């Protein structure tokens, strides 16, 4: 950190990300780390990141207890929960974290290294790749076959995606169109962060909004997030029994993309009488 202050005048770790402004999300800071590999990071290795620094990453409130609690909650509904991470961050920092044992898969940025430390970028998870990775996870074994969404190993309409930023927008939009539940989180009690995410998610305009829920990032048992996610799980389970209309139809009708008048009136009638579709359509926003 001392060198960072001398070289770049940086006072807080998050200011490091600003050094690579102008480059695409996920790409810039990784390039910058390679440039600084020797001078600033003193030959840092993947192993050091995983075994030493990952444990210092601060977890959101309520983690890791959230995972086993939600697993139990969902298994009582006769479903099995999986947790996957798709991150613009660094793989060793996630793999070495105190919550990594709960994840079924982790996809994140990776470095190759040589004897001097970080050497080249091996892979980057940019915003568009998040969608590809998500689709691959949901398809399961048949990743390269064209199969209907209803036959996916994990159905889109049964998926929940959590995220907090710009690099999540494409994935959010993709899943929201297909009826999945998008949860946008922000720093608890931070009004500025709340306004940022609310604008980013366009929640004032349901037909364009990217999120189903905007809620503070607090995963503890009695938090608003825990309560609303449990409600949404129940809605998703009920929806499988009660509604057989693809949410994409609702979304396209609301956006005015359906031209056939008979199809329009079918979708309109369904929407007005289906609680599941209405619950999925209107975003809910909590500040605290």
Residues 6+ apart with CB under 8 A from 169: 127, 200, 210
Q: Which range touches Zn ion (CB under 5 A), out of 32-40, 84-92, 227-235, 269-277? A: 269-277
Q: How far is the CB of 273 from Zn ion (least distance, A)?
A: 8
The two three-digit tokens of residue 38, written as one number: 């020797």
Round to whole Å and give the CA distance between 108 and 124.
Answer: 7
By beta-carbon proximity to Zn ion, the closer residue of 174 and 281 is: 281
Q: Which range touches Zn ion (CB under 5 A), out of 81-89, 230-238, 242-250, 251-259? A: 242-250
**Does 249 help bind Zn ion (rule: CB under 5 A)?**
no
Q: How far is the CB of 278 from Zn ion (least distance, A)?
A: 8
By beta-carbon proximity to Zn ion, the closer residue of 175 and 274 is: 274
Which of 229, 243, 249, 267 is the binder for Zn ion (CB under 5 A)? Answer: 243
Q: Provide the pairing of β-strand 105-114 with 117-123.
A: antiparallel
By beta-carbon proximity to Zn ion, the closer residue of 85 and 243 is: 243
Q: How far is the CB of 229 from Zn ion (least distance, A)?
A: 21
Give the closest residue to 117 by CA, choosing from 13, 55, 39: 39
Q: Which of residues 97-116 bind Zn ion (CB under 5 A)?
A: none
Q: Residues 191-194: contacts with CB within 8 Å, 24+ apart?
A: 191/287, 194/287
By beta-carbon proximity to Zn ion, the closer residue of 65 and 242 is: 242
Round to whole Å and give the CA distance between 185 and 164.
Answer: 5
Round to whole Å and give the CA distance between 256 and 95.
Answer: 44
Q: How far is the CB of 170 from Zn ion (least distance, A)?
A: 26
Round to whole Å and give the CA distance between 107 and 179.
Answer: 23
- Continuous segment of H or E residues that includes residue 231: helix 224-242
By beta-carbon proximity to Zn ion, the closer residue of 21 and 273 is: 273
Q: How far is the CB of 126 from Zn ion (least distance, A)?
A: 34
Give the closest residue to 284 by CA, choosing from 213, 182, 203, 201: 213
By beta-carbon proximity to Zn ion, the closer residue of 223 and 276 is: 276
**Does 245 help bind Zn ion (rule: CB under 5 A)?**
yes
By beta-carbon proximity to Zn ion, the closer residue of 130 and 156 is: 156
Q: How far is the CB of 239 from Zn ion (least distance, A)?
A: 7
Q: How far is the CB of 247 from Zn ion (least distance, A)?
A: 7
Q: Which range touches Zn ion (CB under 5 A), out of 106-114, 215-223, 245-253, 257-265? A: 245-253
Q: Find out whether 254 and 176 touch, Cβ atoms under 8 Å.
A: no
Q: Provide the pairing of β-strand 181-186 with 160-163.
A: parallel
**Does 277 help bind Zn ion (rule: CB under 5 A)?**
yes
Which of 215, 236, 249, 274 is the binder for Zn ion (CB under 5 A)? Answer: 274
Round to whole Å and give the CA distance between 283 and 213.
Answer: 6
The two three-digit tokens of residue 102, written as one number: 């709960």
Chain position carrying tokens 């909004």: 209
* Binding region for Zn ion (CB under 5 A): 243, 245, 274, 276-277
């Amino acid at each position: 950190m001392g060198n960072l202050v001398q070289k770049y005048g940086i006072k807080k770790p998050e200011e490091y990300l600003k050094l690579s402004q102008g480059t695409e999300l996920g790409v810039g800071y990784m390039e910058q780390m390679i440039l600084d590999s020797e001078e600033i990071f003193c030959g840092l290795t993947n192993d050091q990141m995983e075994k030493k620094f990952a444990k210092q990453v601060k977890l959101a409130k309520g983690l890791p207890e959230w995972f086993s609690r939600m697993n139990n909650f969902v298994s009582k509904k006769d479903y099995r929960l999986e947790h996957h991470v798709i991150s613009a961050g660094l793989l060793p920092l996630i793999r070495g974290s105190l919550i990594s044992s709960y994840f079924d898969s982790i996809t994140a940025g990776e470095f190759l290294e040589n004897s001097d430390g970080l050497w080249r970028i091996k892979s980057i998870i940019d915003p568009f790749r998040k969608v590809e990775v998500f689709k691959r996870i949901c398809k399961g074994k048949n990743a390269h076959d064209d199969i209907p969404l209803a036959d996916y190993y994990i159905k889109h309409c049964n998926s929940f995606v959590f995220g907090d930023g710009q690099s999540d927008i494409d994935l959010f939009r993709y899943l929201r169109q297909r009826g999945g539940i998008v949860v946008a989180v922000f720093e608890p009690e931070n009004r500025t962060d709340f306004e940022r995410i609310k604008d980013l998610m366009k929640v004032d305009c349901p037909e364009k909004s990217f999120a189903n829920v905007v809620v503070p990032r607090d995963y503890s048992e009695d938090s608003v997030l825990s309560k609303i996610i449990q409600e949404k799980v129940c809605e998703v389970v009920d929806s499988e029994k009660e509604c057989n209309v693809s949410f994409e139809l609702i979304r396209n009708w609301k956006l005015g993309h359906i031209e056939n008048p008979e199809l329009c009136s079918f979708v309109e009638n369904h929407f007005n009488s289906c609680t599941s579709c209405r619950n999925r359509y209107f975003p809910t926003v909590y500040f605290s």
